[in-house]
């Protein structure tokens, strides 16, 4: 949550900061602010609400001149979204300015001590405490870097900080612990940011800072220190994707752009890992001997990534014959999970920063399990901490509602399933080949779900149903798991109350909520369970529900007998079918949200990466 950016060079800082914040707004959008060295003074501008408010306030950055500055876009944790709680925060005397992403857990204790020492505060934030603490040490030590080092030594919790000091107009300091931060090398200019897109317009040469790192830099030089304040060499990485990947490219929203990118993202994730009809996972080191010892697999994640885990249960159990338990990271970490060396923990996270997922990973490691992470963001905390990592090559995902990251995570699950099953001989060569053959054309089949004709039909159904109050998604087997994701999409971006149930479960309670005008989305792609799901559809129709169905082309005629509104998807191997079924559910949610006038890419109360518990 929250995005920070910093610039130090020869160009005007404010427009660069605003541009960077626009790329980070997905991280939080309750308020935004910048602080720029202007005529020798630290000048701050901040505004509640979207970045556009701040931009309007400072005339797109033209109203504040200066070539050094820091910026912030906020997802509120401590204190309501308001001008006063917005970052940057200044120390009492105005000597120190700070932007912060993370949470200082001991801020109240520190605040009390600082109040006893005579400091006064104007906001409710933990960040203002950091600014004052740095100032306190600076007043004693008269050295900017040492003051930051000593203040940071007092902090408990997570932080990525960008810091300016009134007496050091050519210097910026940044530190990181458990919140993402990158450093960008330019020519005669340098940058910090929470994420690559914020600075990609200016540089591709970046350092992914590690926990405990501190960088002290001018426009021409950067010195890196570790947690003990010892100088360290950092590896410079080159970002190989293009800025256009982080822009809308003519689409009205990132979400619909990212939906249309799904075939490419799937191809990018699968094709380098399938060679001559075999799954090749060069990225990981899971030996046959180790795999033979596994007695249980946990899949640990949050939100949509967790739903990939729910699908993973069906896919891995069917192919590998090992019990699989998908579990929410927020529950796993406090549940004293039963695991050890015979347990593989698959950790799934798009951002690689989700606080609960990261903590769950640490818990699994502590208890002796091997961890295998599926992550989209290169160099993120979870990617670094796991024993093995497989990247989903989905490219940057900006819309808060995940789409292409979800489908590529699922692709990695297919690959892992085949890899383990092959090692354990739990899959026949024929079945293995059948799945691989379908994986190789999966991108093309997903593209068939996104033709103009298909989209037109979805839009039509969105127009029929966009004003419903309640929706239920029902299905059986893998369809029940994909319903969880379809339902989440609808509720998070279109703000429609929506629930997902295994179709057979409706009659055990939820059916009492079905009434005239309730929308039921029935997913029925599993051949042997098709008739059973249709029986459940009849039950809800008998009680007045409007039903919108999703099935495969082969059931086109049959489904029409029960469901009037239908979207057909191509057929694939039954275990891969959810990769196709999810496409109309994502697009349906998108068009419903569009018709309801929702802020699709930035749904209320949400943020892309959830770095708080």
- Whether 180 contacts 380, CB under 8 Å: yes
Cite the active site residues.
2, 608
Which residues, other chains included, contact 228 with Cβ-Cβ below 8 Å and sequence gap of 6+?
A: none
- From first CA to last CA, the distance across the chain in angstroms is 11
Which residues, other chains included, contact 295 with Cβ-Cβ below 8 Å and sequence gap of 6+?
A: 322, 323, 342, 343
Tell me whether residue 425 is exposed, middle or buried, using C-beta atoms within 10 angstroms of its C-beta: 0 to 12, 13 to 18, 19 or more.
exposed
Regarding 610 and contact with ligand M6R (CB under 6 A), the answer is yes
Residue 485 CB, shortest distance to ligand M6R, in Å, is 8
Q: Which C-beta is closer to ligand M6R: that of 378 or that of 434?
A: 378
Regarding 304 and contact with ligand M6R (CB under 6 A), the answer is yes
Question: Contact with ligand M6R (CB under 6 A): which of 166, 349, 487, 581?
Answer: 349
Question: Contact with ligand M6R (CB under 6 A): which of 31, 123, 305, 525?
Answer: 305
Q: Which C-beta is closer to ligand M6R: that of 103 or that of 488?
A: 488
Regarding 309 and contact with ligand M6R (CB under 6 A), the answer is no
Regarding 103 and contact with ligand M6R (CB under 6 A), the answer is no
Q: Which C-beta is closer to ligand M6R: that of 26 or that of 144?
A: 26
- Whether 320 contacts 415, CB under 8 Å: no
User: Residue 431, SS3?
Assistant: helix
Residue 177's nearest CA partner among 608, 611, 609, 613 is 611
Burial 113-139 (b: 16+ CB within 10 A, else e): ebeeeebebebebbbbbbbbbbbbbbe
Residue 379 CB, shortest distance to ligand M6R, in Å, is 14
568 has which bridge partners?
A: 551
Regarding 350 and contact with ligand M6R (CB under 6 A), the answer is yes
Mask for 385-414, x = binds ligand M6R (CB under 6 A): ---------------xxx------------
Regarding 471 and contact with ligand M6R (CB under 6 A), the answer is no
> Which residue of the chain is nearest ligand M6R when measured via CB?
303
Residue 486's nearest CA partner among 464, 471, 476, 503 is 471
Q: Find the binding residues for ligand M6R in span 264-303 (CB under 6 A).
A: 302-303
Integer Cα distance of 479 and 481 in angstroms: 5
- Whether 121 contacts 129, CB under 8 Å: yes
Q: Find the binding residues for ligand M6R in span 481-520 (CB under 6 A).
A: 488, 492
SS3 labels along 255-282? HHHHHHCHHHHHHHHHHHHEECCEECCC
Which range touches ligand M6R (CB under 6 A), out of 221-229, 255-263, 350-358, 474-482?
350-358
Mask for 115-154, x = binds ligand M6R (CB under 6 A): ----------------------------------------
Residue 565's nearest CA partner among 520, 501, 530, 596 is 520
User: Residue 599, SS3?
Assistant: coil
Which range touches ligand M6R (CB under 6 A), out of 74-82, 346-354, 579-587, 591-599?
346-354
Regarding 96 and contact with ligand M6R (CB under 6 A), the answer is no
Q: Which C-beta is closer to ligand M6R: that of 43 or that of 404?
A: 404
Residue 464 CB, shortest distance to ligand M6R, in Å, is 24
Q: Find the binding residues for ligand M6R in span 23-52 (CB under 6 A).
A: none
Residue 264 CB, shortest distance to ligand M6R, in Å, is 20
Residue 383 CB, shortest distance to ligand M6R, in Å, is 12
Q: Which C-beta is closer to ligand M6R: that of 375 or that of 563?
A: 375
Integer Cα distance of 31 and 47 in angstroms: 6
Regarding 262 and contact with ligand M6R (CB under 6 A), the answer is no
Q: Which C-beta is closer to ligand M6R: that of 161 or that of 302?
A: 302
CA distances from 226 to 104, 173, 213 (A): 20, 13, 5
Burial 482-501 (b: 16+ CB within 10 A, else e): bbbbbbbbbbbbbebebebb
Task: State the pairing for strand pair 89-90/546-552.
Answer: unpaired
Residue 603 CB, shortest distance to ligand M6R, in Å, is 8
Integer Cα distance of 438 and 77 in angstroms: 45
CA distances from 461 to 121, 431, 434, 571, 590 (A): 54, 37, 34, 22, 12
Q: Which C-beta is closer to ligand M6R: that of 179 or that of 402?
A: 402
Q: Which C-beta is closer to ligand M6R: that of 261 or that of 492?
A: 492
Residue 492 CB, shortest distance to ligand M6R, in Å, is 6
Q: Which C-beta is closer to ligand M6R: that of 346 or that of 400?
A: 400
Residue 181 CB, shortest distance to ligand M6R, in Å, is 17
Question: Contact with ligand M6R (CB under 6 A): which of 552, 579, 609, 611?
Answer: 609
Count residues binding ligand M6R (CB under 6 A): 16
Interaction site with ligand M6R (CB under 6 A) = 302-305, 349-351, 354, 357, 400-402, 488, 492, 609-610
């Amino acid at each position: 949550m929250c995005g920070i950016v910093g610039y130090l060079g020869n160009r005007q800082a404010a427009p660069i900061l605003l541009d960077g914040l626009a790329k980070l707004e997905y991280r939080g959008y309750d308020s935004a602010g910048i602080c720029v060295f202007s005529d020798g003074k630290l000048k701050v501008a901040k505004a509640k609400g979207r970045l556009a408010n701040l931009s309007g306030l400072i005339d797109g950055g033209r109203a504040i001149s200066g070539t050094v500055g820091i910026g912030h876009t906020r997802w509120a944790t401590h204190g309501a979204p308001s001008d006063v709680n917005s970052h940057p925060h200044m120390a009492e005397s105005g000597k120190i300015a700070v932007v912060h992403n993370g949470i200082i857990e001991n801020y109240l204790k520190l605040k009390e001590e600082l109040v006893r020492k005579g400091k006064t505060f104007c906001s409710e934030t933990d960040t203002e405490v950091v600014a004052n603490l740095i100032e306190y040490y600076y007043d004693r030590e008269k050295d900017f870097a040492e003051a930051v080092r000593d203040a940071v030594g007092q902090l408990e919790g997570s932080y990525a900080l960008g810091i300016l000091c009134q007496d050091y107009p050519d210097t910026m300091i940044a530190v990181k612990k458990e919140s993402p931060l990158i450093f960008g090398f330019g020519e005669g200019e340098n940058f910090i940011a929470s994420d690559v897109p914020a600075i990609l317009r200016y540089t591709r040469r970046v350092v992914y800072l590690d926990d405990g790192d501190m960088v002290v830099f001018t426009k021409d030089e950067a010195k890196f220190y570790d947690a003990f304040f010892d100088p360290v060499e950092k590896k410079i990485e080159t970002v190989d994707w293009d800025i256009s990947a982080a822009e809308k490219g003519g689409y009205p929203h990132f979400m619909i752009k990212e939906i249309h990118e799904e075939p490419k993202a799937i191809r990018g994730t699968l094709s380098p890992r399938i060679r001559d009809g075999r799954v090749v996972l060069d990225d990981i080191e899971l030996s046959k001997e180790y795999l033979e010892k596994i007695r249980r697999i946990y899949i640990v994640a949050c939100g949509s990534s967790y739903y990939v885990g729910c699908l993973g249960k069906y896919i891995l159990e069917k192919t590998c014959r090992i019990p699989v338990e998908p579990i929410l990271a927020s529950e796993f970490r406090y549940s004293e999970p039963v695991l050890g060396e015979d347990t593989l923990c698959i950790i799934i996270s798009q951002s690689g920063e989700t606080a609960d997922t990261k903590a769950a990973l640490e818990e699994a490691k502590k208890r002796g399990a091997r961890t295998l992470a599926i992550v989209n963001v290169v160099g993120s905390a979870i990617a670094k901490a796991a024993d093995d990592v497989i990247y989903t090559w989905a490219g940057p995902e900006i819309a808060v509602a995940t789409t292409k990251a979800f489908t590529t995570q699922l692709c990695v699950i297919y690959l892992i399933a085949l890899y383990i099953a092959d090692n354990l001989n739990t899959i026949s060569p024929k079945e293995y080949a059948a799945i691989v053959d379908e994986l190789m054309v999966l991108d093309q089949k997903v593209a068939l779900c996104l033709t103009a004709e298909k989209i037109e039909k979805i839009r039509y159904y969105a127009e029929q149903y966009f004003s419903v109050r309640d929706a239920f998604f029902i299905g059986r087997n893998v369809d029940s798991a994909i319903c969880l994701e379809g339902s989440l999409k609808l509720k998070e971006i279109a703000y429609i109350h929506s629930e997902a149930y295994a179709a057979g479960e409706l009659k055990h309670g939820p059916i009492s909520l079905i009434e005239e005008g309730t929308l039921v989305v029935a997913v029925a792609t599993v051949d042997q369970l098709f008739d059973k799901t249709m029986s459940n559809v009849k039950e809800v129709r008998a009680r007045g529900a409007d039903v919108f169905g999703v099935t495969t082309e082969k059931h086109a005629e049959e489904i029409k007998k029960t469901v009037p509104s239908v979207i057909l998807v191509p057929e694939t191997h039954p275990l891969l079918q959810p990769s196709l079924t999810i496409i109309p559910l994502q697009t349906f949610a998108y068009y419903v949200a569009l018709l309801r006038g929702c802020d699709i890419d930035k749904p209320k109360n949400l943020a892309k990466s959830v770095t708080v518990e």
